[in-house]
Structure 1
Amino acid sequence: MLNRATPEAARRRAKGWLSTQLTPGERLRHRRARHLRRPLLAADPTVREFLHRGRVLLGREVTSFSSAAAGAHNLDLVVRALDHAGITYFMVPGSSGIRHQLGIRVADRAAFLDAMDELHGSRPIYVGLPQRSGGVTQFQFRIDGRLPDSLASAGVLRFGEFLIGPRNQLLAHTRSGCDVEFWADGAELLAAGDPEEQLPKGLPEDVLAESLIAPRRNAVSDFLPRGEQVPALLTVRERDYPTYQAFTLPRVNEVQFPVDIVYTWVDGDDPAWQARRDEHRPGARKDPSSESSRFVSHDELKYSLRSLEMYAGFVRHIYLVTDRQVPEWLDTEAPGLTVVDHRDIFRDPGVLPVFNSHAIETQLHHIEGLSEHYVYFNDDVMLGRPIGPDQFFHANGLAQVPFSSAQFGLGEPHPLEAAPSAAGRNVRRLIWETHKRNITQKFMHVAHPQLKSVMTELEELFPDEFERTAASRFRSVTDIAPGASLHHHQALLTGRAVPGRYRLCYVDISRPEEAEIRLGRLLAERGHDFICLNDVATADEDREQVGRLLNRFLDEYFPFPSAFEKR
């Protein structure tokens, strides 16, 4: 939804701030465009200027956001112009999960550009040349003046609006725009004697003469023979758009199976939970990984759920696993969410309560209704930008596991080392006994793809280890790491997983000065798939500072309530 009430005082402050942040060249460019932008800025309170990477851009403020909605918004802008001009168009299959592509005939280019000006001339729409990297080059705002020839004659153009939050944070950039491809008639290319490199290789002339020719490759074919020009419909967010049948067929590299999310969560400030923990707390030296700061809540779960809604539209269902707790802000009746108690999944409820993530991981695959393919999240992990299911799984079902460069090290587990390292070494013993392969690497602190069948198999292979870890109330030197190590190695060595690529920004928030710098960069760049805000061991005197720092960052990165929050 669009915000219709941006305060005028905020506009004046933003204008003054902009003038102090520009390079001389950009200040001159901005001065030339200002008179063209002034009527728009005065007429539409949802539009304002903001600074991004040294340029003064025009953005539209929104009051809710998801990458899927942003892509659909820009698609709708283009389609409205095409419908306004009566131009025939079709959806083109692309490789982006958030960006849409349309094809029209080259002959309709001028009419389309005129329609965009006529219908959207007073909107802050940008146009640019798409790049293979996903970004654009040579972009400019339509309102800033006539398009240069390099844009007006391009084979593909991208259109869209920058969507911004209440603090001018850029939420939807050019990667969310809508691409318009200008497809040529094969017969016209042949008649014009176009160079061979502009034509599809190896295509017979009689087929070419009746084909539509794309200006670039897409996910299916860069030419469309006459026999394949069978009309069909493609649905985007409950609206049907025209395309061709061949462009609607499921492809071998598309994930078609359901993917669920499983969270584990604890409210460490809950007096009842604290009483249970203190009653069972061992008197021996505490492992650093059982420090109370691990259980302090900064409402990370709330923001992690916001990140899913913003950036992961593929999720089928979310399961939240807790110990007789529910966040006070959580709408437990929200569609797509189920709260699961430890008592519902532990095979032996007599071992409860447990305060050990390793113990809980041994039981997650028992969740009723859980899909075969699911992703295990800790609440301190958020998504930083749009991802698809292929981040976690290949289309054939293989998991893509997040290897880290960190190592377990050699030697036996030791009671004075961190429990996660000991758990990894225990996993190494099991893998060696089963596969005669030596494991060395840890895994990244990201969301972890899981196969329910692998976890079920492991529970049958190692019943004693699963039972012992499940009964380990606090992290112990005898634990295994079921979800974030044993699962991955077993799946890898049995042909059900491969190494994946995960772009993570890990921030230890217990070091507030260093964390503030890293969080500032994250806000400016938004260039990581995953963000982990891990509280290793915050000193008591730093708790208040860390809390303020986290709240400021999370509110700015994920500014809007999700559907899982009470209204």
Structure 2
Amino acid sequence: MSNPIDFVITWVDGDDKEWLDLREKYKVSKDGDDNRKRRYRNWNNLKYVLRGIEENAPWFNHVYIVTPGQCPDWLDESCDKISIINQNDLLDDCFLPTFNNCAVELVLHKIPGLSENFVYINDDMFIIKNTEPEDFFIGNKPCDTVAFSPIQAVYSKDGKSVYGISVMNTRLVAKRFTKAEVMRNCKKKFFNLKNGKEIIKTISMIPYKGITGFNEMHTAYSYNKKTFYDVWMLAEEELKETCGNKFRGEFSLAHWCMRYWQICEGNFEVRNRNFSRFFDMYYKGDQLDVINCIRKKKNKMICINDNVENDEDFPIICNEINKALDNCFPKKSMFEL
């Protein structure tokens, strides 16, 4: 392992009445703002995220959980390997309060004591199989699975989309890098066989001269803290515009722009595409594939994305997945009381 590697997790207790009341106060928002309940819905499985880190990434240096002033009641705050960070301490006062996870993610580099190399994960990402530091960083370079990819205008049934966010992230780097420059920096990396079928996307984008966008793997994101400082120095006004929105908007920037920046600079090493698997939860029954993957440990990481639209299905799906996670991680971690 080169430098110490920290883990950063963003988390919100969506059942916290005080937080919900404050959110309701600011809920009157612009068209395109994403303040859906399920964006903050509590699956009650953060402890399995932490158990996965302790068991399958025992080489970690420190864990930081960024919250809006909340703390899980089961967390042992006296543990010297974990810190709760109030997101209000990272953002300028003029941006507070915020319910915009994109804004919080853009200022993770401000976490006091954060190591130069850190892994950012959401609270829906679980390490279910043993990992090595080299799964995340090689020679202090972030590991990633990369491809050029078209930006898809995908909308959910309620009309919400991440299409605009992808456009904004791509626009930020396309203003400062050319596709020819990117290919000069890392052509061999884009066509590395570890990228698997993602290579097909890159090949399909060859006829287009400009940067059309990049693939999204929805897994652990390896970052150099320096990247955040560099992007803020060169794109401060664009980033501040996102931070000024109380809720995640259709045309917000997200931490993905930092990933895109690292790719454009060639500051990454290729990671096997099968490192992780992404699951979208829409309907009752979708959880069966997740449970099977957890049981058989087919991948090192999984991401369980909450798109459950039927409120009656949610507790069923949630309970069954949490049972599988509990079977995978039956022992309390050092982070728990």
User: 1:213-259, CA deviations, whole angstroms, 9 ceiling, x for partnerless residues?
Assistant: xxxxxxxxxxxxxxxxxxxxxxxxxxxxxxxxxxxxxxxxxx22110
Q: Distance in 2 between matches of 1:373 and 1:275?
A: 36
**Residues 1:290 and 2:38 are matched in the alignment:** no
Q: Distance in 2 between matches of 1:256 and 1:283?
A: 45
Q: Which runs of at least 4 in structure 1 moved beyond 6 Å after TM superposition?
A: none
Q: Distance in 2 between matches of 1:295 and 1:407?
A: 29
Cα shift at 1:283 = 4.7
Q: Distance in 2 between matches of 1:491 and 1:507?
A: 25
**Residues 1:279 and 2:51 are matched in the alignment:** no
Kindly report which structure 2 residues correspond to 1:26-45, keeping only aligned pairs within 5 A, or say none.
none
**Residues 1:540 and 2:335 are matched in the alignment:** no
**Residues 1:268 and 2:14 are matched in the alignment:** yes
After superposition, the Cα gap between the structure-2 partners of 1:313 and 1:480, relative to the gap in structure 1 and judged at 3 Å, is same
Kindly report which structure 2 residues correspond to 1:116-127, keeping only aligned pairs within 5 A, or say none.
none
1:313 to 27, 34, 58: 58
Cα shift at 1:372 = 0.6
Kindly report which structure 2 residues correspond to 1:316-465, keeping only aligned pairs within 5 A, or say none.
316-346=61-91, 348-395=92-139, 397-403=140-146, 407-409=150-152, 418-437=160-179, 438-465=211-238
Residues 295 and 328 in structure 2, CA contact (< 8 A), matched pair in contact too: no
Residues 488 and 497 in structure 1, CA contact (< 8 A), matched pair in contact too: no
Residues 12 and 70 in structure 2, CA contact (< 8 A), matched pair in contact too: yes
**Which protein has the bigger strand share?**
1
Q: Distance in 2 between matches of 1:407 and 1:299?
A: 35
Q: Distance in 1 between matches of 2:32 and 2:212?
A: 27
For 2:151, give the aligned amino acid: F
Cα shift at 1:310 = 0.9
Q: Distance in 2 between matches of 1:442 and 1:292?
A: 27
Q: Distance in 2 between matches of 1:537 and 1:291?
A: 12
Cα shift at 1:489 = 1.9
Q: Distance in 2 between matches of 1:419 and 1:359?
A: 17
After superposing the two structures, state which structure 1 stretch, 467-476 or 311-320, moved more: 467-476
User: 1:190-209, CA deviations, whole angstroms, 9 ceiling, x for partnerless residues?
Assistant: xxxxxxxxxxxxxxxxxxxx
Q: Distance in 2 between matches of 1:372 and 1:439?
A: 29
Cα shift at 1:305 = 0.2
Cα shift at 1:510 = 3.5
2:330 is matched with 559
RMSD (Å) for aligned C-alpha atoms: 2.2
Cα shift at 1:300 = 2.2
State TM-score, norm by structure 2. Answer: 0.84
Structure 1 residue runs without a partner (length 5+): 1-254
Q: Alignment partner of 2:129: what SS?
A: coil
State TM-score, norm by structure 1. Answer: 0.51
**Which structure is richer in relative contact order (CA contacts within 8 A, separation 6 or more)?**
2
For 2:262, give the aligned amino acid: A
Residues 32 and 249 in structure 2, CA contact (< 8 A), matched pair in contact too: no
Structure 2 residue runs without a partner (length 5+): 180-210
For 1:276, give the aligned amino acid: L
1:301 is matched with 46
For 2:168, give the aligned amino acid: N
Residues 376 and 449 in structure 1, CA contact (< 8 A), matched pair in contact too: yes
Cα shift at 1:401 = 2.1
Q: Alignment partner of 1:290: what SS?
A: coil
Q: Alignment partner of 2:223: what SS?
A: strand
1:487 is matched with 258
After superposition, the Cα gap between the structure-2 partners of 1:305 and 1:399, relative to the gap in structure 1 and judged at 3 Å, is same
**Residues 1:507 and 2:279 are matched in the alignment:** yes
After superposition, the Cα gap between the structure-2 partners of 1:406 and 1:547, relative to the gap in structure 1 and judged at 3 Å, is farther
1:470 is matched with 243
After superposition, the Cα gap between the structure-2 partners of 1:551 and 1:489, relative to the gap in structure 1 and judged at 3 Å, is closer
Q: Distance in 2 between matches of 1:296 and 1:406?
A: 30
Cα shift at 1:526 = 0.9
After superposition, the Cα gap between the structure-2 partners of 1:394 and 1:443, relative to the gap in structure 1 and judged at 3 Å, is same
Q: Distance in 2 between matches of 1:300 and 1:433?
A: 40
Residues 10 and 121 in structure 2, CA contact (< 8 A), matched pair in contact too: yes
After superposition, the Cα gap between the structure-2 partners of 1:453 and 1:379, relative to the gap in structure 1 and judged at 3 Å, is same
After superposition, the Cα gap between the structure-2 partners of 1:354 and 1:442, relative to the gap in structure 1 and judged at 3 Å, is farther
Residues 365 and 452 in structure 1, CA contact (< 8 A), matched pair in contact too: yes
User: 1:152-171, CA deviations, whole angstroms, 9 ceiling, x for partnerless residues?
Assistant: xxxxxxxxxxxxxxxxxxxx
User: 1:255-310, CA deviations, whole angstroms, 9 ceiling, x for partnerless residues?
Assistant: 221101111000000001101111111355566x5321221112221110000011
After superposition, the Cα gap between the structure-2 partners of 1:499 and 1:465, relative to the gap in structure 1 and judged at 3 Å, is farther
After superposition, the Cα gap between the structure-2 partners of 1:430 and 1:374, relative to the gap in structure 1 and judged at 3 Å, is same
Q: Distance in 2 between matches of 1:338 and 1:463?
A: 28
Aligned residues: 303
After superposition, the Cα gap between the structure-2 partners of 1:442 and 1:511, relative to the gap in structure 1 and judged at 3 Å, is same
Residues 4 and 60 in structure 2, CA contact (< 8 A), matched pair in contact too: yes
Residues 381 and 531 in structure 1, CA contact (< 8 A), matched pair in contact too: yes
**Residues 1:256 and 2:2 are matched in the alignment:** yes
Cα shift at 1:532 = 1.1
Residues 294 and 537 in structure 1, CA contact (< 8 A), matched pair in contact too: no
For 1:432, give the aligned amino acid: A
2:196 is matched with none
Higher alpha-carbon Rg = 1
**Residues 1:527 and 2:298 are matched in the alignment:** yes
Q: Distance in 2 between matches of 1:405 and 1:518?
A: 28
Cα shift at 1:500 = 2.4
Q: Alignment partner of 2:285: what SS?
A: helix
After superposing the two structures, state which structure 1 stretch, 384-393 or 469-478, moved more: 469-478
Residues 424 and 442 in structure 1, CA contact (< 8 A), matched pair in contact too: no
For 2:62, give the aligned amino acid: H
